[in-house]
Amino acid sequence: MLTRIREARKAKGMTLLDVALACSPPTTAQTIGRLETGVRTVSVDWLNRIAAAIGVEAADLVTLPDRSDLPVAAIISGDGVAAPRKPMTLLPPMPASTMVGIIVEVAHGDYRAGDALWAERLGPEDFARAINRDVLAPRAAGGYAFGRLIATEAGRVQILPATPGARQIILDAPWIAVVRQLVRALG
């Protein structure tokens, strides 16, 4: 089986050791390296463990016949722009089951009209992970609040809208969705 573990790991900016320590239970960087290179056979259990450690779906770690890969033509670094030393591909964005979409029709803060935002739903126990990030939160009377999460305590969230002069919004939220990915068409 051809795996894309290395591509997924690098796309998330993780080292072999980062992935090894994030696995449950933790393993060694050498084991992750052997799984990446095919020296060691990748079982479904390993795919699930590594996917959870990297924060992707297990399907993202294998080459599927119905998914086209995006070849990397160039890498922009501090040394300039260069071709990759060996063939590389980018993982196409695939929504996880916890994702929701947000469409921007009118410019709002850093977002432009036509932007699509991919946001991950979080329960109250994980609200603190979204501090200082843009979030969507349902309002009790209907509708939503959107802006920067500035504080959370006991299921209550404080959101600062991006509109200049807007006052912070404080509400009880059964869930929030933290923006994880921006999809923007250029030109």
- E strand spans, 39-153: 70-71, 75-77, 80-82, 89-90, 99-103, 116-122, 134-138, 144-153
> Which residue ranges make up each domain of the chain?
5-90, 99-183
CA distance 122 to 134: 13
Task: Calculate what percentage of the chain has a pLDDT beyond 70.
Answer: 93
Residue 93 has pLDDT above 80, yes or no: no
Superfamily of domain 5-90: lambda repressor-like DNA-binding domains (1.10.260.40)
**Mean predicted confidence (pLDDT) in 62-88:** 81
User: Looking at domain 99-183, what is its CATH homologous superfamily?
Assistant: Umud Fragment, subunit A (2.10.109.10)
Distance CA 75, CA 68 (A): 20
Whether pLDDT at 66 is above 70: no
Describe the strand order of the beta sheet including 134-138 as a list of residue ranges.
99-103, 116-122, 176-183, 134-138, 144-153, 156-160, 169-172
Q: What is the mean pLDDT of the chain?
A: 88
pLDDT for residue 1 is more than 60? no
Biggest CA-to-CA distance, the chain: 58
Angle formed by the axes of helices 29-37 and 44-54, nearest 10°: 120
Q: What is the pTM of this model?
A: 0.61
pLDDT at 142: 86
- What digits encode the pLDDT tens for the residues 100-129? 999 999 988 889 999 999 999 999 999 999
Q: How confident is the model at residue 92 (pLDDT cuts 50, 70, 90)?
A: low
